[in-house]
Structure 1
Amino acid sequence: MFFLFANTVVVPLSVGAAFGFSPELVASIVKITFIVTGAATIAQAMFGHRYALMEGPAGLWWGLILSLAAAAPSMGMTLPELGGALSAGMIAAGALTSLLGALGFGALLKKAFTPIVMFVYLFLLSSQLIIVFFKSMTGLSAGGRIDLPVAALSVAIVLLVCWIGVKGRGLLGNFSILIGMVAGWAAYRVLFPGPEEAAAPGGGGAWVTFFPLGAPHFEAGVMIAALLAGLINMTNTVTALSAADKLYGLSSTDAAYKRSYHLTALHTAIAGLLGLVPYGPYTSSIGFLESTRILERSALVIGGALFVVLGFVPALGTFFAGMPASVGGAVLFVVYLQLFGSAFRNLQGFSFNAKTVYRMAAPALLGISILNVPADAFAGLPGTLRPIVGNGLLMGVLVSVVLENTVDWAKYDRKL
């Protein structure tokens, strides 16, 4: 439940801040996010892929939404106009995911998304999101400078979780993430006494608000970016299930992939309707499972049910939403270190020379470069291309797919 919470609570808060939502609307969206995330996780574990993998707001979609919101003025769009176009794009992406899943497109994706593409995807995803967690743990999210006392505590939490995870045995090692959260939260309240952080999902907001991002409408550039995001987000299923297969010593069937795609498509369409970030299996769950070594589905189902309760009981949601962002960021920083390791495990068995290194380095470093360019730098591009070219994760993965499926890299291995 703590893992679901830490991965989820910051997402609707950041989207609400990016779109200028009222506190009441943010409260409503946070509650709905808790409920949908818990229910979606249970549905996947019981009826979808049937692994103990979290289903939550997808990092690819989250990054896309925040980057488009930041770039809206340079695109000549108001935030409600952008939000409405995104809502339409999410629903369309959900329909596309379901259709392609039913047609067996997952098998083609598994062939197109080679281990090198998986490396690029996981490398850029972990790089993009760990920056968000780093800003939270150092206090940068609240201002332009690092808050040194908060940052020092966050570093201590990171070291504690890493030390327990490496040195701890049995239950101690299994619960390093939970110990880090509880100990860090308690230490924060002792060292920095004051009012709870204003992130609570209690409030007096309506239970459900339809299309809070804006009235859905068609915008070519945003629609193309959303459909591409939905397509690439399907690789979340490929990546997560492939990694889970290795962890569990099993092999997912085509039927399991199709069930998972249909559920992800449903959750993505619901996200467009309710103003949430679209869903997907969390690849970072692999890092969590490797850290805790608790692989039972029952544990995840119970955690998901408790998370649903947080959404339906405002007092509980209010209490847990009082966890400092720096503490959650510090713990997730460690979790995404594991995801970074998962990225490099895709390179096992590969050797690179002066020519073949481009297949890995070019898309990965192109994506990193774009991630570090301000959104308004792409203002000179046509509106249709801007949402795509300005997203480092999308561009890196697209370039990697093209390179892997158009160049005979084995030929260059033989030449050298």
Structure 2
Amino acid sequence: MKNEHAWMKEGFSFLQWVVFLLANALSLPVVIGQLYHLSAAEVAGLMQRTFFVIGLTSFLQGWLGHRYPLADGPAGIWLGMFTVMGTMAGAGEAVLSETLRVLEGAMILAGVIIIVISAFRLLPKILFLFTPLVTGSFLMLLSLQLSGVFFQGMFGIGQGRDALEGKLLLVSVAVFVLVWVLSVWGKGWMKNYAVLIGIAAGWAGFAGLGYDAAPVSFSSFVTLPSVFAWGTPVFDPNMILTVLVIVLLLLSNLIASVSAMEQVLSGKNRLESGVLSRSGTVNGVATLASSLFSTVGMVPLTVSAGFVSMTGEKRRRPYLAACIGVVAISCIPPIISFFAQLPGPVAYAVLLASFGQMFGIGLKGVLKEALDSRRFQILGITMSAGVGMMFLPAEVFQNFPPVIQSLMSNGLLVGMLICLVLEQCWRPRGEESFKKVSNHA
């Protein structure tokens, strides 16, 4: 009986981790597929590669990296970059294909930089650049830039329709509200599986409305993921500055995730330099793997700490077994074909609900330090310039050199650079508090 109970416990823990690993990436391939006009077969291929990389890199982190039950998943920073560049590229298939190859090259460059920084233990020496004001501003700008794209996708705009359909709108909004409510007020497993519940409910709703996506055909029951499915990587010099900013933000995210898990597992607030070095190196390898298998870059997910805290499952063995299970699932086309039929508006609604909290998290980060007159003005200039640039059509910069076009057409990057420069060059000096400034207004 004891052995039977132990096996049941192991099996349940394994299943929990498999569902958790899949749930955090299920909607992403559908969103990327619609942004870049991928066919149903290409979306299925992207989903296969995404699951494969998630299982592989999560296993490597748990085995050789941080060595915690801390799952990898698509990085919001990389998803934002894919979304922004896909939107900027326009509707031409040739241009969109070239953009994907440029992003492959960008991930290779980012992976190499992360490995070098981590291997030489340079991480603590560069993180001073990313103050709460800088990281908070980035999250707020990213949420604003993505919101328009996600809303259009959620309402089905640009997917063969230009006007809203009442039934589609009702289901999409219901999914958004459901995921948001469960994320904020849900208890226990409902909170941790809010995304999966939202996907299931939305999918059922669309099925009830007669939505019927054609299943993807497959020739065998076991296939391996393709390498460089988007084509040979393109290394664009105009992306170097963007990649550097992404790398630093990824490393900041990495430290936050590992620290949160360390707190859950041991109650410690300090991380050993060896843990950071190992996890950073493996994250660099994960970024290279994301390019190799043509998917969105990965990062350890902070939400894993909440999942472990809720379930109380702190052992590595079920987690590592689940990672291998996800890799195995990714090689079975019938399963991937089923998941690839997820309705696009449902995927967008789920992502919008998840990213909706990003603005609040960013604002909370900014307010970690007193909002004195200096920081208040830097925040105002950053948000005004970043959001303002988002409303300018890319064509206005067509007479400028390519590197300037790449920079100025990206409001997120413009805002980030302004914030970084002002935060480092405008040093605090006898600052007045924001309260005093308000009193003079």
TM-score for both structures, normalised by structure 2: 0.78
C-alpha distance in 1 between matches for 2:308 and 2:391: 30
C-alpha distance in 2 between matches for 1:315 and 1:126: 35
Matched, 1:278 2:320: no
State the AA in 2 paired with 1:408.
R
Matched, 1:255 2:274: yes
Q: Is the 8 A contact 2:373 2:432 kept in 1?
A: no
**Gap regions ≥5 residues in structure 2:** 1-17, 437-441
Shift of the alpha carbon at 1:382? 1.0
Residue in 2 that maps onto 1:99: 116
Residue in 1 that maps onto 2:9: none
Residue in 1 that maps onto 2:385: 366
Residue in 2 that maps onto 1:145: 163
Classify the secondary structure of the residue corresponding to 1:118: helix
Residue in 1 that maps onto 2:8: none
Shift of the alpha carbon at 1:97? 1.1
Shift of the alpha carbon at 1:89? 3.3
Aligned-residue RMSD, C-alpha: 3.7
Matched, 1:387 2:398: no
Shift of the alpha carbon at 1:100? 1.1
Residue in 1 that maps onto 2:178: 160
C-alpha distance in 2 between matches for 1:186 and 1:46: 38
C-alpha distance in 2 between matches for 1:348 and 1:256: 29
Matched, 1:397 2:416: yes
Q: Is the 8 A contact 1:19 1:213 kept in 2?
A: no
Classify the secondary structure of the residue corresponding to 2:366: coil
Shift of the alpha carbon at 1:35? 0.7
Q: Is the 8 A contact 1:289 1:295 kept in 2?
A: no
After superposition, the Cα gap between the structure-2 partners of 1:345 and 1:403, relative to the gap in structure 1 and judged at 3 Å, is same
Q: Is the 8 A contact 1:30 1:201 kept in 2?
A: no
Shift of the alpha carbon at 1:279? 2.4
After superposition, the Cα gap between the structure-2 partners of 1:17 and 1:62, relative to the gap in structure 1 and judged at 3 Å, is same
Matched, 1:234 2:251: yes
Matched, 1:331 2:350: yes
Deviates more, 1:30-39 or 1:125-134: 125-134
C-alpha distance in 2 between matches for 1:296 and 1:126: 32
**Gap regions ≥5 residues in structure 1:** none
Q: Is the 8 A contact 1:62 1:277 kept in 2?
A: yes
State the AA in 1 paired with 2:66.
H
Matched, 1:186 2:229: no
Residue in 2 that maps onto 1:321: 340
Shift of the alpha carbon at 1:193? 1.8
After superposition, the Cα gap between the structure-2 partners of 1:166 and 1:20, relative to the gap in structure 1 and judged at 3 Å, is closer
Which has the higher Rg, Structure 1 or Structure 2?
Answer: 2
Shift of the alpha carbon at 1:414? 6.2
Matched ranges for 1:3-402 at <5 A: 4-5=21-22, 7-16=24-33, 23-51=40-68, 53-71=70-88, 78=95, 82-142=99-159, 143-190=161-208, 192-196=209-213, 207-242=224-259, 249-250=267-268, 251-282=270-301, 285=303, 289=306, 293-294=310-311, 296=313, 304-402=323-421
Q: Is the 8 A contact 1:5 1:307 kept in 2?
A: yes
Classify the secondary structure of the residue corresponding to 2:430: helix
C-alpha distance in 2 between matches for 1:57 and 1:46: 19
After superposition, the Cα gap between the structure-2 partners of 1:193 and 1:271, relative to the gap in structure 1 and judged at 3 Å, is same
State the AA in 2 paired with 1:313.
I
C-alpha distance in 1 between matches for 2:141 and 2:212: 36
TM-score for both structures, normalised by structure 1: 0.82
Q: Is the 8 A contact 2:84 2:146 kept in 1?
A: no
Q: Is the 8 A contact 1:39 1:308 kept in 2?
A: yes
State the AA in 2 paired with 1:146.
L
C-alpha distance in 2 between matches for 1:201 and 1:122: 40
C-alpha distance in 2 between matches for 1:295 and 1:201: 41
Classify the secondary structure of the residue corresponding to 1:140: coil
Q: Deviations over 1:359-403 (max 9, x none)?
A: 222223432333343333432321123223322332322222222
State the AA in 1 paired with 2:295.
L
Shift of the alpha carbon at 1:236? 2.6
Matched ranges for 1:401-412 at <5 A: 401-409=420-428, 411-412=430-431
Shift of the alpha carbon at 1:319? 1.7
After superposition, the Cα gap between the structure-2 partners of 1:321 and 1:22, relative to the gap in structure 1 and judged at 3 Å, is closer
State the AA in 1 paired with 2:166.
L
After superposition, the Cα gap between the structure-2 partners of 1:79 and 1:320, relative to the gap in structure 1 and judged at 3 Å, is closer
After superposition, the Cα gap between the structure-2 partners of 1:133 and 1:55, relative to the gap in structure 1 and judged at 3 Å, is farther
State the AA in 2 paired with 1:265.
G
Length, aligned pairs only: 410
